[in-house]
Structure 1
Amino acid sequence: MKGQEWYQADDVAEEYDEKRFSRGGQLIDRREKAAVLDAIMPLEDKKVLEIACGTGRFTVMLAARGANVVGLDISAAMLQQGRTKARAAGVSENLEFLRGDAGRLPFPDDHFDTVVAMRFFHLADDPEAFLSEMRRVSKHQIVFDTFNRFSARSVYNWALPMGSRLYSKSEVSVLLAKTDLTLTDVEDDFIVPYGAYRSIPNVLASPIRTLDRAVGKFPASDHLASVSYWNARVR
C-alpha cells in the first residue's frame, strides 16, 4: 500500500475526519454513506466486513442499523478513533475492530455476507489481488469505489500525500471478470472532485453540489465523473 507510514501516524488519525468531512466535505460523507446503504440494505443481522475502515465512518453506521460488522485497518491510531466512535454510538457489542493487512485477510472463505472497501482502491498497489481476497471471504457481495482516470480528479492527483491510482471503467470491468465477480450496479458522481468541496465552507459547497448533480443527470457526464461506486455479486 502507498503511504503507509503517513497514514498510520497518530496526528493523521486525529485530524482525518475533520480535514475531510467537515465544511463542504460533509456533502461527500453523506453521499458515500448513501451509496453504501443503497447497495447493501437491508442490514439486519447481516455479517459485513469493511476493509480499510479508518476511523469507522461506515462501520459505526452499519452497526447502528443492525449489521454485525468487522472493521479492519492497518492503522492502530485509526482503529482507536473508530472504537471511540462505536462507544459513543452504543454499538460496540456488534462491532469489532481488527488491525490487519487487506492482502491477507484473517478470515475463512465465505465468512461474510458483504465486504465493503471505500476509499481503498485508489491506494492499492495490487488491486486484483486485493479484490480476489475480498471475494474469497464474501458469500454474496462486494462494494467498493474508485477514482476515475478521465476526470478532474487527475488535475490535482499529483498533490495527494499518498499518491492515488485512477481507473477507467474498462479496467474495473476486467478486474471484476478476473476475480469471478458479476457487476450488479455502478453509480458515477462528483464531476467537481472531492478536493474542491473540502476546501470551501458548506454554504458555498451546497449550491455547487446542486449544479454538479444536475449536470450529472445527463448520460454523457458519466465520462467526467470523478468517482464511481461499484456493487458486484459473487458468482
Structure 2
Amino acid sequence: MDIKAVQTSYARWAPVYDKTFGAVTNAGRQHAVEYINRRGGKVLEVGVGTGLSLEHYGPETQVTGIDFSEEMLQKARDKVKELSLSHVTELRQMDARALDFPDNHFDTVAAMHVLSVVPEPERVMTEIARVCKPGGKVVITNHFLRERGLLASLERTFAPLANTIGWHSDFEIETLLQEESLTVEEQRPLPPLGIMTFLVLGKSKVS
C-alpha cells in the first residue's frame, strides 16, 4: 500500500469512520486503553485517526496523537475541544515512518488497528521502538492473517484490494516481530470471534 492510497482512502472514510470501522474496532481500543491507563505516563498513539480512544485515557496519562490524514486529525481535534480533554497534549500530522520525536521519549506507544494500513510497517515498527523508552511498552491491536480456514481464504482473496479498501487483509503478525529490542509479553485474541489480536511488546532495558 502506498502513502497516496492511504491518504485518499482515509479522506474518503473520515466522515463515516466512527460508525463503520470505528465501531468494529471498539473492543480492541478499549482493551488497549485500559492497559495503558494502568501504566500512566507519556503515551504516543500512532494512527490516532478521528480520536475515538482519546476520551478514555485517564488523567494520569499525557497523550500525543499522530496521523497522516488531516481529515481524520481534524475530527480528533474537534473531540478534544468539545470534551475538554486536558490529558491530550498534542495532535500532529506525521508520517509514522519518520517520527519527529527524540529517542527513548515515550513510556508507552500505542498502535490500534493501524499497522495493516500503513506503507512499510517494518519501518514504522523501527520508529516505534526508537521513540519508546527502555523498559517501556508497545501496545498493539490489529487484525492478522489466519493460517487456515474459510476466513483465511477470504483474507487472501481480498488482499489485492488493499489500496481500495484501505487495509491489508493478509497482514502477517511476523511483520511486527522483527525488532530485536522488542519482545512479546502478551498476545491474545479479542472479542468478537477473535478477529482482532491484542499484543504487548516490551522494550529491553539499557544495561
Q: TM-score range by the shorter chain?
A: 0.7 to 0.9
Distance 1:177 1:20, change over 3 A: closer
Q: Please give the alpha-carbon distance, in whole angstroms, between the structure 2 residues aligned to 1:21 and 1:51.
A: 15
Map 1:79-98 to 2 at 5 A: 79-92=73-86, 94-98=88-92
Structure 1 residue 166 corresponds to structure 2 residue 170:
yes
Q: Please give the alpha-carbon distance, in whole angstroms, between the structure 2 residues aligned to 1:177 and 1:19.
A: 31
Match in the other structure for 1:231: 200
Gaps of at least 5 residues in structure 1 are 191-208, 213-224
Which structure is larger by alpha-carbon Rg, 1 or 2?
Answer: 1
Aligned residues: 192
Q: Which residue type is aligned with residue 16 of structure 1?
A: Y
Match in the other structure for 1:57: 52
Match in the other structure for 2:28: 32
Q: Structure 2-normalised TM-score? A: 0.80
CA contact (8 A) 2:106 2:131 kept: yes
Distance 1:163 1:32, change over 3 A: closer
Aligned-pair distance for 1:168? 4.1
Q: Any idea what the Cα deviations from partners look like across 1:93-137, whole Å, max 9, x if unmatched?
A: 643110011000000001110100111111233222111100100
CA contact (8 A) 1:13 1:78 kept: yes
Q: Please give the alpha-carbon distance, in whole angstroms, between the structure 1 residues aligned to 2:115 and 2:203.
A: 18
Distance 1:115 1:188, change over 3 A: same
Q: Any idea what the Cα deviations from partners look like across 1:133-159, whole Å, max 9, x if unmatched?
A: 001001111111232211626526626
Q: Which residue type is aligned with residue 59 of structure 1?
A: L
Map 1:109-188 to 2 at 5 A: 109-139=103-133, 140-150=136-146, 152=151, 155=154, 158=158, 161-169=165-173, 171-172=174-175, 175-188=176-189
SS of alignment partner, residue 71 of structure 2: helix
Distance 1:95 1:43, change over 3 A: farther
C-alpha root-mean-square deviation of aligned residues, in Å? 2.4
Aligned-pair distance for 1:182? 1.2
Gaps of at least 5 residues in structure 2 are none
Aligned-pair distance for 1:187? 1.3
Identity %: 26
